[in-house]
Copies of this chain bind each other. A is one copy, B any other.
């Protein structure tokens, strides 16, 4: 009994460290595009108009910052939801989680690419890169979830079958949906980005339910 209590506490400490580490990476990833919010250098004549124009011209940087911040926030919330059900971690989970964190860190980059090139003739390429990243993000979430659910000692004993089933079902949607979005990039970039936005609403709504 003593030993069991001890082991559970150890497991929780381990899980806590993985969560704290992941939170650090999420925090960095979310704020990465703040580095692109640069004070514009206005030329010779600094006037109200020239500064306003220079600030407005940077709109893709603002758009990318806000979008990237919120998509990674939703990913963080989902990560949170998953790890609430975990009471210990193993190497498999650590590496699956690492893969997810790496893809998360790549999101600001591809978001900036799509924000910069959305209005150009190269929109489809930018959009395919963006949606392609989310195929890998969705794959990573599935891999992480699979690593968690396949080991019986990993899940908390009070994690209900229903909750597990629900998450599994939601995650199954991810990869095919983003593959469709990637394919759509070459048909209509705007539609593809629209599908991504719809999916983010889906992820935040379903995270809420669980």
Contacts of A69 in B (CB 8 A): 98, 101-102, 105
Say whether, besides A55-B113, A73-B98, A26 and B21 are in contact (CB < 8 Å): yes
State the CA gap A23–B91 with chains docked (Å).
17
- Chain A 1-35 per-residue mask, 1 if CB under 8 angstroms from chain B, else 0: 00000000000011011011101111111111011
Q: Report the count of interface residues on A (CB-CB < 8 A).
A: 63
Is A48's CB within 8 Å of the partner chain B? yes
Interface residue? A182 (CB, 8 A): no
Please classify the interface of chain A as helix (H, G, I), strand (E, B), loop, or mixed, using the class held by over half of its residues: helix
Contact partner of A106 (CB less than 8 A), chosen from B37, B70, B112, B204, is: B37
The verdict on A109 contacting B39 (CB below 8 Å), with A14-B84, A121-B47 known, is yes
A39 adjacent to B95 (CB under 8 Å):
no
Contact string, A103-144, partner B, CB cutoff 8 A, digits 1/0?
Answer: 001101100110011001110111001000000000000000
Complex alpha-carbon distance, A52 and B39, angstroms:
24
Asked, given contacts A112-B39, A125-B55, whether A102 binds B70 with beta carbons under 8 Å apart, the answer is: yes
0/1 string, A44-87, CB within 8 A of B gives 1: 00111011100100000000011001100100110010001000
A208 contacts the other chain (Cβ, under 8 Å)? yes
The yes or no answer to A148 lying at the interface (CB within 8 A) is no
Per the bound structure, the CA–CA distance linking A117 and B19 in Å amounts to: 36
Given contacts A24-B28, A32-B35, 11 further A-B pairs with CB under 8 A are A17-B19, A21-B76, A23-B24, A25-B30, A29-B31, A29-B34, A31-B105, A32-B34, A39-B116, A73-B101, A91-B204
